[in-house]
Structure 1
């Protein structure tokens, strides 16, 4: 891990007692000792008395649950902060409502060089169409506006923003009367984000990290790259995370590597991998995910940005350099391209070296039994987002409209991945879906396709230890002696988890189970409330007294 991902620890010893400690070291633990940023001991309330005299602080948990802090394995931090502090259209219930919000935002931000928004989804609106350029020109009074779709793979913009990007009308993905995609979208996004001042950027980053900390998230994987943000944004985020108390930031930079010089540059940026959103394809919502057979609602198969030879070359160069490689791949054809490329690289370098590198794939939605088997064979990490299924799954959701019901039911097969031995790392892809770790766990346990559901325990592990494993750390993400003291305190309901159906193993705090408890997470249950988040022994969030 880079220095930016290793915050300074508190040189203090703290005893937490009188609660429920979720630890595989002791399934009945009610107390924990933290020393110099690491877990020193977990055990029973009675045994804790032996430590009380030698600690700097005793924390009475008052029955609170203590768990490892969550890791969000896929975040776009600055974009998340801009959505939190700027124009968010995710709650707009119609095109007319969205245009109203644009008008109000434009009037309130007259000093901004470029207006920025996020989160529209025309499929949720009665009009079933995005805003036109003429409508946005009118709503903004002719000012530059960048407004990406909720999946951030297409965007609508104003004429004034297009005027800031010479040659954009000749780029791939330019559509005069439809959202921009591909190279045209990347160009207008670069122009829009280039107008953000360093002060605006820092404020957005702080807002995003503060929100993460308030939700019990101790680590975020920043998925950056030249098609997503820029180097200044990436470097400033790593610097902020290193110098200010908050969640750890582990950086990925999605740029292709061809040789050792390229790999060195990735490391010099502070990234631990040439991975994250290195695009093999786009998204289902924008009709740019790459499919083997056409969309149900469009006469094409999407877009492919890399072929198997490109994947093989990148993986081979990263493996030779000891660097983690990774790709964004959603459609079934894109995932086939990834696994074919991995096989070519394995044929060249040997399977053991490929497996040892723990390369990763982001999203991995349209998996088949064959590509799942390939993931297991190559030791790939599946960095996935259960909230996608909660938002767009089901027989009437966006997936079904894009693909048809039968294909939609195959998406996000978490149970099959676990059965095959594929490691899962859960994330949000925020701001595509919000930072919401307990909601993510619940979404996986109550997947809209019942056969893809996994237990709450497995989902929780994927959102804690899974993220650490994805960066090559097997010694973290659980509250056991020697592990980094990244943990959260929670106010919860009953610590009994009942699986959604008989296909998932049931578990609870029943003494016969020998398993530490987690909150009850049925769809109607209230989610836990974070009381405190601690990273490497340092408190980074404290809930205000109510």
Structure 2
């Protein structure tokens, strides 16, 4: 506590406290920790084109047109659309975005941020996307094509835009009583320049602390150079249910695919091996059961090579881990692994008629995000 004051306010104090002040009395409580953050993307949504409330395709196109008119030629960056509840049941096409944005560059990320729709102008700036896996002539990009166009879109962000967005995220976090943000950065999320800017902002301006991860296979030089928390975070082993890219052991209910594993088993194991040997926490984005299985098997292998104690000391981490099998949970507990989970996902997409059930069927959907099972087995939750 720093002082007593006869006023009402809430602020983030030192060491992650939140101070609630009223009429000379102070109650100090622990601040929240947000364990999975993309500061720039969140800030752009807070300050720019937030598409979460769109009720239809026409609604989205109208918002894009209005934003483009006031955008002064800048790339239209939007996020949050979800076509599963729209009457059209489809995202906009490249041609529709071209008309809405007057021919400008457009990047609109789906609500899960694992696919996007883009305009012709943005594709012209990233021609390699056309030959990448996940490209679609209609402008709906997934997998590697999505990573390519996202890098092109974010390359157009100015330093001033980035600073405004990152400040907005930290300000919003502080207002919610969040005292620490765990940034999930990487070359395909926002890049090193973006991460360095965020770390500088957190070191020089008041607000929530920032603990950062770098999601790149073998990217240990960045972790060491910048003094980061670990070599993981959004190191994408798969995608998301909504975009049909989360890797499943059996196919989706509503599409003839089982999703996509991005890396070979040996590459995942090598990353875990290098991290364990260096005493660095590794981490992976895994949502489907096949992706969770791949990483758990990799950690099991490294434990046989370097010893269980070394693996447990590293505390390797899974982001999301929504669809574990019972054997995954018991293995994670034995291997000292952590699960960074998002209950808000289940609140948004769970239930017998929502997106999870649409993609997976009600039976599989009901097994997702077993937080109680994780806790009962002794798997720490972030």
TM bin, normalised by shorter chain, reads: over 0.9
Q: 1:136 to 1:61 in 2, by over 3 A?
A: same
Give the structure 1 partner of residue 361 of structure 2.
Answer: 404
User: 1:167: how far off?
Assistant: 2.5
TM-score (norm 2): 0.94
Task: Pick closer, same or farther for the CA change 1:38–1:309 going to 2, 3 Å.
Answer: closer
Q: TM-score, normalized by length of structure 1?
A: 0.66
The CA deviation string for residues 50-78 of structure 1, in whole angstroms up to 9 with x for no partner, is xxxxxxxx965677754200000000000
CA RMSD of aligned residues (A): 2.1
Deviations 1:2-40 (A, max 9, x none): xxxxxxxxxx854799xxxxxxxxxxxxxxxx9x8699x
1:2-401 superposed matches below 5 A: 13-14=2-3, 66-112=28-74, 114-177=75-138, 179-257=140-218, 263-401=220-358
Q: Kindly indicate whether the alpha-carbon contact (under 8 Å) linking 2:214 and 2:222 is maintained by their aligned counterparts in 1.
A: no
* TM-aligned CA deviation for residue 134 of structure 1: 1.1
Q: Check whether the contact 1:280–1:307 (CA below 8 A) recurs between aligned residues.
A: no
Give the CA deviation at 1:179.
1.4
Whether the 8 Å contact between 1:281 and 1:288 is mirrored in structure 2 is: yes
Match of 2:10 in 1: none
- Counterpart-to-counterpart distance in 2, 1:285 and 1:37: 38
Distance 1:229 1:161 in 2: 17
Change (3 A) 1:308 1:16: farther
Deviation at 1:270, TM superposition (A): 3.3
Structure 1 residue 110 displacement after superposition: 2.0
Tell me the secondary structure at the aligned position of residue 311 of structure 1: helix
- Please list every run of 5 or more consecutive structure 1 residues that lacks an aligned counterpart in the other structure: 1-11, 18-33, 40-57, 426-546
Question: Bigger CA drift: 268-277 or 290-299?
Answer: 268-277
Retained in 1: the 8 A contact 2:68–2:101? yes
Cα deviation digits, residues 460-512 of structure 1 (max 9, x gap): xxxxxxxxxxxxxxxxxxxxxxxxxxxxxxxxxxxxxxxxxxxxxxxxxxxxx
Contact 1:273 / 1:323 at 8 angstroms: preserved in 2? Answer: yes
Residues 81, 13 of structure 1: alpha-carbon distance in 2 compared, 3 angstrom cutoff: closer
User: Does the 8 A contact of 1:275 with 1:326 survive in 2?
Assistant: yes
Whole-angstrom CA distance in 2 between matches of 1:375 and 1:294: 25
Deviation at 1:166, TM superposition (A): 2.5
- Displacement of 1:215 after TM fit? 0.4
Q: With CA pairs under 8 Å and 6+ residues apart, which has the higher RCO, 1 or 2? A: 1
CA deviation vs aligned residue, 1:231-266 (integer Å, no higher than 9, x gap): 100000000000000100001000112xxxx53432
Matched length: 375
Instruction: Tell me, in whole angstroms, the C-alpha distance in 1 between the residues paired with 2:322 and 2:278.
Output: 29
More helix by share: 2
Distance 1:59 1:367 in 2: 43
Alignment partners' CA distance in 1, 2:269 and 2:348 = 33
Q: Which residue of 2 aligns with 1:54?
A: none
* Residues 1:395 and 1:244: Cα distance change in structure 2 (over 3 Å): same
Superposed CA deviations along residues 168-214 of structure 1, whole A, max 9, x for unmatched, are: 21111111125101111111111110001001100110011100000
Distance 2:210 2:2 in 1: 25
User: Where does structure 2 lack aligned partners over 5 or more consecutive residues?
Assistant: 7-12
CA deviation string 1:282-330 (max 9, x = no partner): 0000000000000000111001012332222111101111111000000
Report if the CA contact (8 A) 1:235-1:270 is conserved: no
Give the SS at the match of 1:251.
strand
- Equivalent-residue separation in structure 1 for 2:66 and 2:320 (angstroms): 34
In 1, Cα distance between the equivalents of 2:253 and 2:319?
Answer: 24
Asked whether the equivalents of residues 105 and 120 of structure 2 are also in contact (C-alpha less than 8 Å), the reply is: yes
1:221·1:249 contact (CA, 8 Å) conserved in 2?
yes
The alpha-carbon deviation at position 269 of structure 1 amounts to 2.6
Inter-partner Cα distance in structure 2 for 1:384 and 1:83? 22
2:36 touches 2:182 (CA, 8 Å); kept in 1?
yes
